[in-house]
């Protein structure tokens, strides 16, 4: 029995610009064939075990021909799989979705389209440039500035009224502007380039056809070029939010970076991932829970893995009824509450040391504590318990592996959520500019940083994502 192919537009830029329908289709997929320009956080919506296949398809850097992609979609669907063909923007806006649909129809494979938000509208909009505007532009026209034979003849488009939107033209913007002028557009016609629209790295430059190529030097593809009177508009206040214009580099697990990044972006900040901590679950079975009276969890990741492990090992949650849960902070406590478990102990200061000191005060001599956390967890917790004679077992639920993504960080701030992430960043060759302030989640992380760099650093008053946001807001308010 044949499966089905969903030709899905992933939207312009960050993963949260996908439609609800697009997200739902990914969540029930058996395979996702994705393009280079999508935000890879979208792949996190795919169910465990789904095939994730990069098809490349970036101008000048194709990793697979269109014919091979068509064949791949047919093969996967013929094997009975529900396949998501995930594209940046919209499948029908220079996305070759029509070609793939034709191939699927010829092979007798059922398919469905899920529209996406195209960069031709979204990128200018996010830069404060409307593609239509009363009195300035009654229409807009979307034009590719790149074909297999190079730049097409743009003469017919120069005479069009309204806003001209060029896609895939950054590499030949000088020729594009020259063609527009030689074809009759005045050299003082407003023009704008929006680079990496819809992402935390979005940059916009404005000018005219006479100087836009020079102004756009150094911008990154993908980029959208707008030509016409509306390109001179800037329909937003440059400081409408407290962190507008502030750039923050993030390090840590995907869960933490995503949560913190969303909080910062809601306040106007631009974020970029500088380093990732990949979580690798340990294969060892859980210890005998009957031996313990206290259960200590130090992160939402640990809570998630514990609950998954209990489910996989068919252990009823009622088996935990004799355990008194303790959480290092609010985020961990909230993760427990979502499963109907309530932490009896959350220290006022959200640190491993504070949690250990509270346990020392509360645990009796006959009790034994089970700590479930990362393999490279803070030594403060176990050191304090050992020094005070508290019986415990420190069980590694998962390990973390660091990958530095941006080695030369030039943002306003970089956030380090653990001593391990700080040490790993510098060990792998990461460097901070003199203007970048390091934000540490706690004193242990700050100590690890002081050993690595003499640059400026600040420490969150509360060891949470909220505490990090608060300290950045205070810095910007000085």
Annotated catalytic residue, options 35, 39, 90, 412: 35
With both helix axes pointing from N to C terminus, report the angle between 97-106 and 66-78 in degrees, rounded to the nearest 10. 50
Starting at the earlier edge strand, list the strands of the sheet with 4-9. 51-56, 31-35, 82-87, 4-9, 111-114
Angle made by CA atoms 238, 242, 247, in degrees to the nearest 5: 75
Sign of CA pseudo-dihedral 227, 120, 130, 243: negative
The alpha-carbon radius of gyration of the chain (Å, integer) is 26
- State whether residue 38 is helix, strand or coil: coil
Q: Spell out the residues 6+ positions from residue 346 whose beta carbon is closer than 8 angstroms to its own.
A: 326, 327, 328, 329, 330, 333
Counting Cα atoms < 13 Å in the Cβ hemisphere of 428 gives 18
Is 306 in contact with 397 (CB distance < 8 Å)?
Answer: yes
Sign of CA pseudo-dihedral 167, 168, 174, 179: negative
Which burial class, exposed, middle or buried, applies to 389 when counting CB atoms under 10 A from its CB (0-12, 13-18, 19+)?
A: exposed
Residue 160 CA, chain-centre distance (Å), reads 38
User: Does the annotation count 57 as an active-site position?
Assistant: yes
**Secondary structure E strands in 254-367:** 270-281, 294-297, 324-327
Cα-based distances in Å from 477 to 272, 472, 473, 474: 22, 9, 6, 5
Interatomic CA distance for residues 376 and 396, integer angstroms:
8
Interatomic CA distance for residues 313 and 7, integer angstroms:
37
Annotated catalytic residue, options 57, 87, 151, 180: 57
Is 255 in contact with 331 (CB distance < 8 Å)?
Answer: no
Annotated catalytic residue, options 14, 81, 151, 168: 168
CA-closest candidate to residue 106, choices 136, 132, 135, 71:
71
The catalytic residues are: 35, 57, 168
């Amino acid at each position: 029995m044949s499966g089905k192919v969903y030709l899905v537009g992933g939207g312009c830029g960050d993963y949260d610009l996908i439609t609800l329908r697009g997200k739902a289709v990914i969540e029930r997929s058996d395979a996702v064939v994705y393009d280079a320009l999508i935000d890879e956080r979208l792949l996190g919506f795919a169910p465990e075990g789904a095939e994730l296949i990069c098809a490349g398809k970036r101008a000048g850097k194709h990793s697979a021909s269109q014919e091979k992609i068509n064949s791949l979609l047919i093969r996967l669907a013929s094997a009975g799989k529900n396949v998501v063909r995930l594209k940046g923007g919209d499948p029908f806006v220079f996305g070759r979705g029509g070609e793939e649909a034709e191939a699927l129809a010829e092979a007798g494979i059922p398919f469905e389209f899920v529209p996406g938000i195209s960069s031709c509208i979204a990128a200018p909009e996010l830069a404060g440039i409307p593609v239509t505007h009363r009195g300035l532009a009654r229409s807009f026209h979307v034009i590719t500035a790149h074909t297999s034979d190079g730049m097409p003849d743009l003469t017919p488009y120069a005479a069009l009224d309204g806003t001209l939107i060029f896609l895939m033209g950054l590499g030949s913007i000088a020729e594009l502007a020259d063609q527009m002028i030689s074809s009759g557009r005045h050299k003082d016609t407003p023009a704008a380039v929006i680079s990496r629209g819809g992402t935390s790295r979005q940059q916009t430059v404005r000018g005219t056809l006479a100087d836009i190529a020079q102004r756009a030097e150094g911008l990154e593809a993908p980029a959208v070029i707008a030509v016409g009177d509306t390109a001179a508009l800037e329909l937003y206040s440059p400081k409408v939010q407290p962190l507008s214009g502030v750039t923050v580099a993030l390090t840590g697990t995907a869960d933490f970076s995503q949560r913190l990044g969303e909080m910062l972006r809601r306040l106007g900040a631009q974020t970029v991932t500088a380093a990732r901590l990949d979580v690798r679950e340990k294969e060892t079975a859980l210890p005998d829970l009957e031996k313990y009276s206290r259960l200590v969890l130090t992160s939402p990741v640990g809570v998630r893995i514990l609950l998954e492990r209990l489910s996989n090992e068919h252990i009823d949650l009622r088996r935990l009824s004799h355990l008194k849960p303790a959480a290092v902070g609010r985020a961990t406590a909230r993760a427990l509450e979502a499963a109907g478990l309530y932490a009896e102990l959350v220290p006022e200061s959200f640190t491993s040391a504070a949690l250990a000191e509270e346990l020392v005060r509360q645990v009796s001599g006959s009790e034994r504590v089970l700590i479930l956390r990362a393999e490279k967890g803070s030594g403060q917790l176990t050191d304090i318990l050992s020094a005070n004679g508290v019986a415990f077992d420190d069980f590694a639920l998962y390990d973390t592996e660091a990958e530095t993504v941006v080695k030369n960080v030039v943002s306003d701030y970089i956030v380090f959520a653990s001593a391990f992430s700080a040490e790993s960043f510098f060990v792998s060759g990461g460097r901070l500019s003199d203007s970048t302030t390091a934000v540490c989640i706690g004193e242990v992380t700050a100590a690890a940083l002081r050993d690595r760099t003499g640059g400026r650093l600040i420490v969150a008053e509360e060891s949470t994502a909220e505490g990090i946001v608060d300290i950045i807001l205070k810095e910007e308010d000085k």
